[in-house]
Every structure is written in C-alpha cells, then in structure tokens.
Amino acid sequence: MENLIMKNGIKIVYEKVAGDITSFSMAFDAGAIVEEKNQLGLAHVVEHMVFKGTKTKSEEEINKLCDEYFGFNNAMTNYPYVVYYATCLSEDFHNAFQLYSDIVINPIFPEEGFKEEIDVICQELREWKDDVAQFCEDELFYNSFNNRRIKDLIIGTEESVRSFKRENVVEFYNKHYIPENCVISVVSSLDFEYIVKEIEDAFGKWEQGIYEIEESIPLYEDNNSGTFVKLKKDIETAKIQYIFPINNLNDEEIKALRVFNAYFGEGTSSLLYQKIRTEKGLAYDIASSIKNERGIRLFTIYVGTSKDKINQTINLINQQIQDVKDCKGVFAEDKIKKLCKSIKLKRSLGLEQSIRLSLNLAVYGVMYGESSSLYEQVRDLEQVNEDLILNTINKVLNYPSIQVIEPVK
C-alpha cells in the first residue's frame, strides 16, 4: 500500500495488483450522519444529483461515457460516507478518471430534471421497503433509538425528500464535498507515480471553502431495550433481529468480539447455526455479525423463522447468549487460532476483487482516518485470549433491542 496526502488535503491510497483493469473509488465524509435534523435523506439526494450534469457535460453525455469506459460503476450513500466507485481497463484510466472527477467536483445541479430525479428517489424508497430483511432492520433502528441518525432511513422519508430544493443540495455539497473530507483509492497495475499525477491533474486545483458545520444528529445513545413487533402483509416467514450497542468498546475489545462472533454466529459450524437450525430446525437462515462503521457500531443477530416458532426461537437465542457468557474453557488457544484463520480467510476473499478492495480502502480511510485499518482490524487477532473474550461479551450482550416482523395471515 502507498499513501500520499495532496496539498489541498485529499488522501490518496494505492495498491498494486496484476492485471489489465484498474478500480478506483472516491469517498467523502458526507454520509447521512453529517445531516442536520431537517436534512434527512439529503446526502443521498446529493449523490444522485451530481450525475445530472457538469460544467462541460450533460447527463446524457455522462451516461454514454460511463457505458463506454466502465465495466462497472456505481455510487452509494451510507450513514458514515458517500462513495463513487468504478472499474475500467487500465488503458482507459485517464479518460475514465477524468470523467468521474468531473462528475464529483464540477456538478451544476440543474433545475431541469430535479423533480424527476426526486421521483426516482421516492420510487427507490418504496422498493427499499419491499426487502423484508432491510425492513426488519429499519424498524429495529427506529424503535431502538430516540435521536440517533440511524433511527431514520439513510435515504430519508418521502416527505423529507420532496421538501428539498436545489439550494439545499448546493449548500450540502459545498459544506461537505471538500478536499479534506475526500479519500481516493486506486487498485491497479499502473505505476503509483502515474496514478498520483493523474489524480493531481484532476483534483490538484480543487479548492473548496471551509464552512461552519452546525451540530448534526447525535452519533450514539443508549438503546431502548425490549421486543418490538410489527405485522406485515404479503410475507410468509417471520424475521427477527437483535442489536447490542458496541460503541463503547476499544480496539482490542472489538478484536475479541470478532473472534467470538466467528464462533457464535458465522458459518454452518457456529453455535447459533447448530442450536437453532441443525438441532431444532427452527430456521433456515441465522447468523450474527458486527457493524463497526462510524455512527452505527452494533452487534447483531438475524434469523428467519415461521410465525408459530417466533417465541421458541427468541427463547433459545436468549438461552445461548446466557450460556456463552459463562462458558469457560471454550476459547482455548488452539480454538482461537482456528477462528482467527477463518476470519482472515473471509476478509481476504472479500477483498479479492479489485473493486471491492478499492471501495473498502476508500471508505475505511473516511471512517477510521487510515485506510490501513482495513488490515489492522484483523492483525494480531491471535493475541486475544479467553478472559478478554468473556469480559467483552459480558460487557456487550445485555439489554438487547429485538425486532420481530410477523406475517399477517
């Protein structure tokens, strides 16, 4: 990995890989968590609107050139970041990168087509709610918190989205799309010096004024513990999700939680899979995971089951949580080593594609300040011991918020 900070504050991250394609990402600290209370969904609206035209290209020209240069390109707004990412042939890198940089730093946000794009976003909002697993998580976040940004959807509500005017988009862009908030990552066989020159040619003269940022919605607060039930039509199975806040854990405790999670809820040999699916046949899909992104930071358990087995499933999960908190002797040194190998293997597989590697390098740079944290989070996992694991899970696995999405018969 090579790192460089440009004079205007942009962070460049580069990794050399063999092959004929180049992947690059442009990430900004301009996700939903920087929105103010009257701006729900504005970060996502801005992401859409930058593609509506630049000082030199129309939306139609942008779309045509994207099809010409990119094998894949996309943009994504999350709570902690917004990112623009793409893959092209290395021989087309100059033209492809110039195009994306133009989109990101020279948008004109035309009035023409504004209303239509808002309609598109509202349709996206409706389709978002059709995903039952996503719907379960969204309901859980809404019920679990009183003030945190994750209480509301990343893309806002139809009411909030339709309230935005062009000037709201321009103001948000000017405040948050600044060099100091930007990380650009490139994964390529092209030389680092060439990549840096191309980025400096495109972004070197980009200077944005520093605006005073008003206080945004709180990042963290205690969760509302308890079980919340929502009835939903046109579904066949129930969905259940747990969350436990982990924003008070330090780096070593997060590593301990990663090792625990590999044992507890990852894969077909995990404790939850064995107890809930294999032994009892209560679920087809069950897993736990760690959401350690800035502004989110939660330990989650997710399961799908039938309506008549909801209570039995919840009771059994609760029993497994209670049992594992007192489970001395499980996390012996050889067991921890095996779990660590599994974690590292899955992380490596997840980064095998250049576009995924580029995307993660950029967003990790935004979320944690250093792209190297992508690797550091799974480095020295073997130093974790049983006492640290048990102390960590006894600190975390208390007073969950539980959401049940129950089918209406």
Whole-prediction pTM: 0.93
Q: What integer best gives the mean pLDDT of the chain?
A: 94
304 and 263: one domain?
yes
Question: How many Cβ atoms are within 10 Å of 213's Cβ, its own excluded?
Answer: 10
181 and 71: one domain?
yes
- The answer to whether residue 290 sits within a structural domain is yes
Q: Is the pLDDT of residue 94 over 70?
A: yes
What domain range includes position 301? 226-331+385-407
Average pLDDT for residues 342-360, to the nearest whole number?
A: 92
pLDDT per residue as tens digits for the range 49-79: 999 999 999 999 999 999 999 999 999 999 9
Q: How many domains is the chain partitioned into structurally?
A: 2
What CATH number does residue 288 fall under? Answer: 3.30.830.10
pLDDT per residue as tens digits for the range 109-137: 999 999 999 999 999 988 887 889 999 99
- The answer to whether residue 359 sits within a structural domain is no
Give the tokens for residue 64: 């045509």
What amino acid occupies position 235?
I
Specify the DSSP element, H or E, that contains 336.
Answer: helix 333-350
> Residue 129: its pLDDT value, please?
78
pLDDT per residue as tens digits for the range 164-180: 999 999 999 999 999 99
Cα radius of gyration rounded to whole Å, the chain: 23
300 and 179: one domain?
no
> Residue 386: its pLDDT value, please?
94
65 and 179: one domain?
yes
- The answer to whether residue 375 sits within a structural domain is no
Specify the DSSP element, H or E, that contains 43.
Answer: helix 42-49
Final residue belonging to a domain, choices 169, 203, 237: 203
Give the tokens for residue 361: 């390098």
- The answer to whether residue 77 sits within a structural domain is yes
Band of pLDDT at residue 215, cut at 50, 70 and 90: low
Which candidate, 343, 137, 186, 178, places its Cα nearest to that of 260?
343
pLDDT per residue as tens digits for the range 276-328: 999 999 998 899 999 999 999 999 999 999 999 999 999 999 999 999 998 88
